[in-house]
Structure 1
Amino acid sequence: MDMNNKYVMVEESIKHQIDSGLLVSQDKLPSIRALSQQLSVSKNTVIRAYQELEAQGVIYAVTKSGYHVNHRQDTLKPVTKPNQVDLLSVCKEILTYSPENEWLATGTAHPNIDTPIIKSLYAEIGRHSRRQANVASHYQLPPGNDQLIKHLGKISQDLGVNAPANQIAVTHGAQQAISLALRALTQAGDIVAVESPCYFGNLLLMESLGLKVVEIPSCPKTGIEPESLRQALKKWDISAILVTPNFTNPTGARMPLEKRVELLKLAPSIPIIEDDVFGALAFDQGIPPLKALDKDDRVIYVNSLSKVLDSRLRIGWVTAGQYQAKIEKLLLCDNMGSLNLMQSAVADFLGTGKYRTHVQKMHRFYQANVKQFHCELVTALNQYPELRGRYQIYLPQGSFLLWLTLPEHIDSEKIYQQAKPEGISILPGTIFGTSDQFRH
């Protein structure tokens, strides 16, 4: 590759990151030295690319601060019309795997459980199991175990959500909480707005409920685009909005405070379901959830212990404000008997105070591991000249999710099929949208 092609490659890489939302207005670009090392090109090549981009008005130089992304009137990606979801067959095939045969399980969003505190959690579950063997059988009726609800209220409060005990209902994971919320707010044929890409589990829920989905473009760095949502609200009668402001699955995006405020202003009469399962895993002080900013009592807040403790616990909770009574009625009809063993055991575990210690430890653990994995993945990808400078992977500010965008001609489903026999799991982007738009 000659010098001219190399600087064009660098230029196109920066432009693509801006177009895809990985770099936004005022963001600082890597230093000349850092980018030359990252892309394995000379410093002169990077300088030439930055000069060309500056001449085009794409970036600007700041004395002693390097180059920054210029403000521009972006052409928003068009919002596609509402779609029926048809992902069940694809998801069943991809999610049917044997984790015991994997040596690199990057296709799952399960938390680290190799800690003494998690072992003490399961010791507590064992004690409750033996104790219940000598107690008459009974149901744990909704809204759930009183002590567990008390502790979940404290966890919510730590995240900025003040929820009294009579406004919390325990669910079978966050998935059931979102399902109950959708059933309380919609009926078959209604339209729900979701960020795109969107967690496949939520898309499957809407498929099962016969709902239509309008996918709102989402920046992999700052989440759902309010202006795109505004366009959709003008075109269609949207019954509910489902978002994950904190570290959305799969991109790890986190909505800044100003975007959260704007989102609430955009749709003053439309209920919002807020999925906050990764909220406790922020590497900094965190940002108030939508529920904490809501003055109209219309945000349904959903959380769970699956991403912080263990997915197998299947303990989630919902606080729904004006919709609480309807959701609890649906919960009672669905779950005459809940997992009383798990609820009582986890309640006692949370009463030990070990939860906060565990969360603090996981902050450090995930932050270090995500950085290391990101670094090793970038090093590996840069070995291929055809990929160097042509992929995007954003380092999140919390959780343990990484979203890799490859050149558009690359098929992630084929990579998935090739990696699977080698004991490597990934999740192809095809399951995070309804129109096959994330195949790369």
Structure 2
Amino acid sequence: MVNSETPISFSRQGREIATPVIVDLMARALANPDLLSLAAGFTDNAVLPRELVGRFAAELTQSGVPEEPLQYGQNQGRQRLRELSCAAIESHPGERAGVFDPAAMFVSNGSQQALYLAVQAICDPGDIVLVEDPSYFVCLEMLKGLGLRPVGIPCDAEGGILPDGLEARLQELDAAGERSKVKAIYLVSCFCNPSSRSLAEAEKRAVAEVLLRTGYTIPVIEDAAYRDLYFDAPHPAPSIISMPEFEPFPKLYLGTYTKPFATGLKIGYGYCTHEVWKEKILCIKGHQDFGSPHFAQAIIERVLDAGLYPEHLARIQAHYARKAQILDSALAEGGLRESGWAWKVPQGGLIFWLRAPEGMDLRMQSDFCQGCIEQGVLYVPGDLCFASGAPWNCARLSSGALPEAKLREAAGRFVAQAARSVECLG
């Protein structure tokens, strides 16, 4: 029997922590099959790698397999998986050959854990992390849950970083006496969640130049979780690891096999150029779990080592490209653009970023959002993606999880609610 009467003196984090929005959205989507979710960034069950996972799971459960996959593994992750992951990063356009050292990589429970550990290692409550405006809302919630303050970098209407705006923001922090509190900058670089755009090489270079010019040689974190999920061609910009402009900075590059391979295996990684920072991350990880699931690592390692990963990627890239076209067409054919809504068709990833007409309120507690839920469709309110919580007229939709017919139906429900809301505004 659960005893809820006995009082507990919680820590500061325990007192202030709240249920993450993403957990609530995922729970709603899983609990009610009639509620169509365009919110949580699930992948599509139709393209999960069942044959590959089944094949290598059978092989790995035979007796006598080296580095017994059903036993504990290393805290840092399997050596061969780290080697293959470094090679996979180097295969992208613009990356410098021979730069990536497996000793600088660690395997994590998805890239989200790597980000959490990295921030824990360098930040204290009250510290500041610079983020794009908009940025990945799960990261913003994570930072706030740790007692940190995400501060938005001014961006243009499409989410592009404004170098002059970044410099002005840093000057504001200087004037407020908060320079010492600024501990890191977090960038989502490929098919960004939520804006769906990618950071150009010149854009990254400008960020490095501003940081150096203003004396902010702070850790730079690049989140490239969607990098493999391009539709027609990989994003041509190199990572910060390969760019000489970022040489003076401590750097952390985040990647994952969760979205592009199998979310249920929950394996990601971090590549850290700063040895002491990496060791601190691994110490914290050792206290948490002393190593990510060894069996899941071994399966992905086998897929990579057999050269089967590119074929798998090609299949899911074509699949998600088609689903993006379906969602775009459903929104457009429903007359959403004629009602004053705007969006760009993504070139990769799973995310659409929509802007409603000025004056509309799409927040969780808004009539629009509650109307969508009543109509049986979920989305992520865009205010959650801004450090300041504004503007209120944006929405993040995901094209990933729903089957094609359900995706069209969900878009239809969303468009119908938008039409009702425009009538109310008129």
User: Do the structures match in fold with TM over 0.5?
Assistant: yes
Q: Which runs of structure 2 are paired with 1:277-296 in the superposition (5 Å)? A: 277-282=225-230, 283-286=232-235, 287-293=237-243, 294-296=246-248
Q: Distance in 2 between matches of 1:136 and 1:152?
A: 18
Counterpart secondary structure, 1:169: strand
Is residue 25–residue 40 contact of structure 2 (8 Å, CA) maintained in 1? no
Report what 1:305 is aligned to: 257
CA-to-aligned-CA distance 1:397-429 (integer Å, 9 cap, x gap): 221210111123323233333333444221122
Tell me if the contact between 1:125 and 1:341 (Cα under 8 Å) persists in the aligned partners: no
Q: Structure 1 324/136 Cα, relative in aligned 2: closer, same or farther at 3 Å? A: closer
- What is the identity, as a one-letter code, of the residue corresponding to 2:361? D
Residue of structure 2 in register with 1:148 after alignment: 81
Amino acid at match of 2:119: L
- What is the CA distance between 1:302 and its match in structure 2? 0.7
Corresponding residue SS for 1:96: helix
Is the CA contact 1:141–1:332 (under 8 Å) kept in the aligned structure 2?
A: no
Match of 2:354 among 384, 391, 404: 404
In structure 2, the residue matched to 1:388 is 338
SS of the residue 1:396 aligns to: coil
Q: CA offset at residue 329 of structure 1? A: 2.4
CA contact (8 A) 1:197 1:432 kept: yes
> Residue 366 of structure 1: SS of its match in structure 2?
helix
Superposed displacement of residue 430, structure 1? 3.0
Matched residues in 1 for 2:349 and 2:340: separation? Answer: 25
Matches of 2:19 and 2:249 in 1, distance apart? 34
CA contact (8 A) 2:135 2:188 kept: no
Q: Is structure 2 residue 51 aligned with structure 1 residue 120?
A: yes
Q: In the alignment, is the contact (CA less than 8 A) between 1:220 and 1:251 conserved in 2?
A: no
Matching of residue 98 in structure 1 with residue 29 in structure 2: yes
Change (3 A) 1:87 1:256: farther
**Cα distance in 1 for residues equivalent to 2:198 and 2:352:** 13
CA contact (8 A) 2:29 2:37 kept: no
Q: How do residues 25-424 of structure 1 correspond to structure 2 at under 5 angstroms?
A: 88=19, 93-99=24-30, 101-102=33-34, 104-115=36-47, 118-124=49-55, 126-127=57-58, 130-131=61-62, 138-159=71-92, 160=95, 162-219=99-156, 221=158, 223-236=160-173, 237=179, 238-268=182-212, 269-282=217-230, 283-286=232-235, 287-293=237-243, 294-322=246-274, 323-382=277-336, 388=338, 390-412=340-362, 413=364, 414-424=367-377
State the number of aligned residues.
351
What letter corresponds to residue 166 of structure 2 in structure 1? L
CA contact (8 A) 1:220 1:253 kept: no
Structure 1 pair 87/220, CA: closer, same or farther in 2 (3 Å)? Answer: farther
CA contact (8 A) 1:121 1:346 kept: no
Percent identity over the alignment is 22
Tell whether the 8 Å contact from 2:61 to 2:70 is kept in structure 1 after alignment.
Answer: no
Structure 1: 5+ residue stretches without partners? 1-84
Greater mean alpha carbon deviation, residues 198-207 or residues 282-291: 282-291
Cα offsets for 1:154-209 (capped at 9, x unmatched): 22112336421111100111111111221222222111100112212101221222
| C-alpha contact (below 8 Å) 1:274/1:300 kept by paired residues | yes
Specify the SS of the correspondent of 1:218.
Answer: coil
Greater Cα offset, 280-289 or 103-112: 103-112
Tell me how far 1:86 sits from its aligned partner.
8.1
Seen in structure 2, the aligned counterparts of structure 1 residues 170 and 207 have a Cα distance that, compared at 3 Å, is same
Q: Distance in 2 between matches of 1:276 and 1:111?
A: 17
In 1, distance between residues paired with 2:113 and 2:63? 26
CA contact (8 A) 2:187 2:221 kept: yes
Residues 124/417 of structure 1: CA separation in 2 closer, same or farther (3 Å cut):
farther
SS at match of 2:154: strand
For structure 2, the residue ranges without an aligned partner over 5 or more in a row are: 1-15, 174-178, 394-426
Label 1:218 to 1:247 Cα distance change in 2 as closer, same or farther (>3 A): farther
Q: Distance in 1 between matches of 2:200 and 2:320?
A: 21
Report the alpha carbon displacement of residue 123 of structure 1 after superposing the two structures with TM. Answer: 0.5
Q: Normalising by the residue count of structure 1, what TM-score does the alignment of the two structures yield? A: 0.73
Q: Which amino acid is the alignment partner of residue 211 of structure 2?
A: A
The Cα shift of 1:260 comes to 1.0
Shift of 1:344: 1.4
CA contact 1:128–1:345 (8 Å) conserved in 2: no
> 1:314 is aligned with what amino acid?
K
Cα gap change, 1:164/1:434 in structure 2, threshold over 3 Å: closer, same or farther? closer
Q: Distance in 1 between matches of 2:304 and 2:157?
A: 34
Letter in 2 for 1:361: R
